[in-house]
Amino acid sequence: MTAPDRRSFLGGTLAAGLASGLAVQTLGRHAAWAEAGRRPSRPGEAGYGALRRVASRNTGEELLALPAGFSYTVLGRTGTPMSDGVPTPIAHDGMAAFPGTRRHTVRLVRNHEVRTGPGSPVGRVHVPGSARYDELGVGGTTTLEVDPRSGEVVRHFVSLNGTIVNCAGGMMLHRRGWLTCEETTAGPARGWQRKHGYVFEVPLRGPEPGRPAASMPLTAMGRFSHEAVAVDPRTGYVYETEDDAGRPDGFYRFRPRDPLDLSAGGVLEMLKVRGVDGYDCREGQTTGARLPVEWVTIDDPDPDLEGGAPTCAQQGLAKGAAKFNRLEGCWYGDGGVFFNSTSGGDAKNGDAPGADGYLEGYGQVWRYVPGRRDGGTLVLVYESPGRKQLDSPDNLTFTPRGGIVLCEDDAGSADADPHPLAPGLVNVNRLIGLDPRRGEPFEFAVNIADDSEFAGACFSPDGATLFVNQLGSTAALDPPGRTYAIRGPWGRGPL
């Protein structure tokens, strides 16, 4: 079946008679997002109220703007010597929080999206003599044991190295560790010793200062420009997002043979809208409508790209899989998987079109609900109407109280994005909250230090602390990457 007009399709087989009751049934307690952006709040209603510039509790620097009552400390700044003697690397990206090994502590596993050349010493993640996948790899992860109440870093160290461009990832099943993803398919042709574009495991227990985990690629999970993953705790299936800028991207599902041993292999699949070949999710969508889903198999999950083999996305699209644009953050919550399309949507940001002519939008938030007897359901829960509401959502996290935090990555070149709290900055990035009760986005934090993106937002196991990274530079020591621990009156609002 060839793809019909999307709006006609939604108006016919999928959205006939769509009313508020159906939206509630589709989205559960997040039904209000179906109306997001259509009924703005009165001043002071949304989120936690007005923001103001705030100095860090431990450094005194004004780096963030936050609502009244919230404070933060700075952890793990680029260049700070760690417990293993290695300077804290550059490019702080995806991250997750786990219970610490000591009372009141939290263990963070943090990605470093280092984009320097093969073997470059600038800000790299590197422990000499350790078990590394690629001896020239400059990326990886660090682990921090922190006390969020005092802001003390108890210890921190390299927990995986020998990889490159570690962008995002996700928690392993039963929170046994972190899955870190390479956002590239570079290989020997670009100077690296090994092929890249894989997912790697960072076990929670095992890595210690001076003894990072061995970096072994999980090739059955696909070789593509990975962004993030989320694991369904009921099935152990791993959902994966792809961010290959300028080309249509896929939303993937990995069905492992053994959910507790991803290295044992499994089946990689790509999402397809049931009965429609090549359905284009990037634009022309209806918020709140139900899209029935099926899955197509990726026959060659580890393609020989250097030899001209079709990419994972090309394989899926050839079987009628759905198209997305720049899929990034991915998190399991409320019985489904929420994920961002950074540049999806009908409101366009003015940047030059991609390779297939697609014009980038300001971003979409999707929810996939697994089916018990079928392929599941896909729902667009929010689409940004413009940069003021939401500009280029990247990482995201589902909060303990049922909201969502979106990390902006405004890399647009055509649409300047200044902010009154950050004078002198042209493209300002924010943390945006999505309120499931009111169905609208709101500003929660503004990066007033530089124009780098927010990344790695995650809550401590007790829900009292929001950890988030400021990326900094991916190829230089300045601006530095930082990790923030934000505390305050969460119960006063929707996060």
How many other C-beta atoms are found inside a 10 Å radius of the C-beta of residue 491?
Answer: 9
| Rounded mean pLDDT, 470-477 | 98
Handedness of CA 146, 147, 148, 151 (dihedral sign): negative
Give the residue from 359, 421, 370, 100 showing the smallest Cα distance to 233: 370
What is the rounded CA–CA span in Å between residue 471 and residue 435? 25
Query: Whole-angstrom Cα distance, residue 421 to residue 426?
Result: 12
> What was the pLDDT predicted at 361?
96
Q: Answer yes or no: is pLDDT of 435 > 90.
A: no
- State the pLDDT confidence band at 2, using cuts at 50, 70 and 90: very low
pLDDT tens digit sequence for 351-361: 888 878 999 99
Cα–Cα dist 240/256, whole Å: 13
pLDDT single digits (tens) 225-247 = 999 999 999 999 999 999 998 89
Q: What average pLDDT does this structure show over 484-491?
A: 97
For 34-63, the pLDDT digits (tens) are: 444 444 444 445 799 999 999 999 999 999
* Residues 75, 64: Cα–Cα separation, whole Å: 14
Tell me the average pLDDT across 293-297.
98
Please give the DSSP secondary-structure letter assigned to residue 101: S
**What are the beta bridge partners of residue 252?**
240, 270
Looking at per-residue pLDDT, the higher value among 367 and 435 belongs to 367
Residues pairing with 62 in the sheet: 55
Q: Residue 136: CB partners within 8 Å, gap ≥ 6? A: 118, 119, 191, 192, 193
CB neighbour list of residue 482: distance below 8 Å, 6 or more residues apart: 63, 74, 75, 76, 77, 78, 92, 449, 469, 470, 472
CA 41 to chain centre: 27
Range in 118-127, 438-447, 480-489 with the lowest mean pLDDT? 438-447
pLDDT of residue 434: 93
Q: How many CA atoms lie within 13 A of 151 on its CB side?
A: 15
CB-based contact 301:221 (threshold 8 Å): yes
> Residue 167 — pLDDT band, cuts 50, 70, 90?
very high
Report d(CA 26, CA 371) in Å as an integer: 12
Residues 6+ apart with CB under 8 A from 401: 463, 490, 491, 494, 495
Neighbours of 475 (CB within 10 A): 15
Q: Which residue has the higher pLDDT, 351 or 218?
A: 218
Q: What's residue 246's pLDDT?
A: 80
pLDDT the model gives residue 1: 39
Please say if the pLDDT value at position 317 is more than 50.
yes
- As a whole number of angstroms, the distance between CA 228 and CA 329 comes to 6
Q: Is the pLDDT of residue 201 over 50?
A: yes
Residue 407 has pLDDT above 80, yes or no: yes
pLDDT tens readout for residues 78-129: 999 999 999 999 999 999 999 998 888 999 999 999 999 999 999 999 999 9
CA dist 27 and 216 (Å) reads: 38
Q: With 70 as the cut, is the pLDDT of residue 19 above it? A: no
Residues for the chain: how many in total? 495
Mean pLDDT of the chain: 91
385, 285 contact by CB (below 8 A): no
Percent of the chain whose predicted confidence (pLDDT) is above 90: 82
Place of tokens 């609502």: 67
C-alpha span between 202 and 65 (Å, rounded): 33
